Every structure is written in C-alpha cells, then in structure tokens.
Amino acid sequence: MHLLLLGRGKTGSLVKEVAQERGHRVDVLGAKENPHASALTSDRLAHIEVVIDFTTPHSVLDNIEACIRAHKNMVVGTTGWYGELPRIRQMVEQAGTGLLYAANFSIGVNLFFDIARAAAAAPGHGYLGQIFERHHAHKKDAPSGTAVQLQRIVREVCGTDLEVTSFREGEVVGMHELVLDSPVDTIYLCHDAKSRRGFAEGAVRAAEWLAGRKGFFDFKDIWRSLPAK
C-alpha cells in the first residue's frame, strides 16, 4: 500500500519502520509541512490509500476533517479528541469514507480490556475500584485515552464511574492498572507496555484492514478479525 503518515514523533517514527518492514511505501509529513492540515489536499492525497495520524490532540481534528473532505480512509492513533467522536462519526458516515481509531493499538491492551470487562462485575459485589495510569513526562493529554476507555468499560458493566489517577514521570511508555479492593481481598490487573512497537504494529495492521472499507470503526471491536501476524 501507499500510506501517508502524519507525525514523525516517538510513535510515528516506529509506525514508519513497521510499515516499511511490512512492504508498504510510506510518505511522512511533520508539523512544519502540514500546519492546520494545509498539506492534506485532494491532489496530495490522490495516490494515498490510507492516512495514519500520530500527531497531537491540537492538530488531529483538522487532519481528520481534511481527510474526510478528500474522501481518504484514515487510521487515527492520536488521543485526546474523543469528545468530538459523535460529530466525526456523522461526517465519516455522510462522506462514505473509512475511519478506524483506537485509544490503544496494542493487541495486549485490547486483551486487557476484555479481562477488565470480566472483572468489572466486582463493584456490584462490594469492591471499590480505582484506575491508575503512568506515562512519560512529555504526554500532552491526561487522563490517557486508554484509561478513559477502561473507565468506560467498567461503567458499561456495572454503572460505576471509577476515579482515574494519572502520573507523568520519566520515559514510562504506558502502564495501566485496574485495582479492585474489598475488605477480604484485592484484585490487581496491570498492563505495562515495554516499547511503542505494539502500538505501531497494531496501527499498521489496522491500516491494512481498513484499505477499501467504509465506515467508522473502533479497533477494540475489530482487532480479533485481523489476519494472523
């Protein structure tokens, strides 16, 4: 495939590496080449099959809207814009394009979500729950998109909104904990990312899945249907 990657930061640079390893041609645009999504014209995107965004909460919405206007399919890894999900879904559906987003493209985290869903019955049995998330000091949004998703999963199962505590320190790639505590025992569930490679592999496999598809998708709903690695 011919991909356009937005962002050559910590995650974007790995996405480029993984995409090239998987045989894709990858163009890359950074902040200076794409202010307010100005580079994302129909002409520039004409030969691109999927755009992948790992930029910033500040620039992602301009990028998404420009890709929809140009009728281009898009994988969005950037977090911090989920208040706009209903509006963007409507735009994607009206335009008849494809958009796939994830708070976390790691297969391990998506398995962790399933485990959390099973454990989310606990507050209905007298457990008090808390969510903790740790990330590197440069992360721009808090709480993390992954922690918000974890909170949503628990709310969907038992109607309880758990408190999220965020820590920003050093170079932590991403750690999420769901702790459920009762007078007689404590359940600790933890996912600890060792590198950004899991995110990058998931995002590139998501782009391969999205090519030629129409609709608005959350990775947590489709990752099981990805072909074997």
What binding mask, one character per residue, do residues 37-56 give for ligand NAP by CB under 6 A, x or -?
A: -----------------xxx
Q: Which position among 1, 17, 27, 31 is part of the footprint of ligand NAP (CB under 6 A)?
A: 31
With CB under 6 A as the contact rule, which of the stretches 30-38, 116-124, 154-162, 210-218 interacts with ligand NAP?
30-38
Which residues, at least 6 apart from 96, have a Cβ–Cβ distance to it below 8 Å? Answer: 71, 214
With b for 16 or more beta-carbon neighbours within 10 A and e for fewer, the 97-113 pattern comes to: bbbbbbbbbbbebbebb
Rounded CA-CA distance 100/113 in Å is: 18
Q: Which position among 50, 68, 102, 120 is part of the footprint of ligand NAP (CB under 6 A)?
A: 102
Active site residue 135: yes
- Is position 105 an interface residue for ligand NAP (rule: CB under 6 A)? yes
- Is position 197 an interface residue for ligand NAP (rule: CB under 6 A)? no
Strand partners, 2: 25
Catalytic residue (one of 135, 176, 191, 220): 135
Nearer to ligand NAP among residue 55 and residue 97 (C-beta)? 55
Angle at 41 between CA 35 and CA 46, to 5 degrees: 135
Rounded CA-CA distance 32/29 in Å is: 8
Residues lying near ligand NAP in the complex (CB under 6 A) are found at 6-12, 29-32, 34, 54-57, 59, 77-80, 102-105, 199
- The residues carrying an active-site annotation are 135, 139
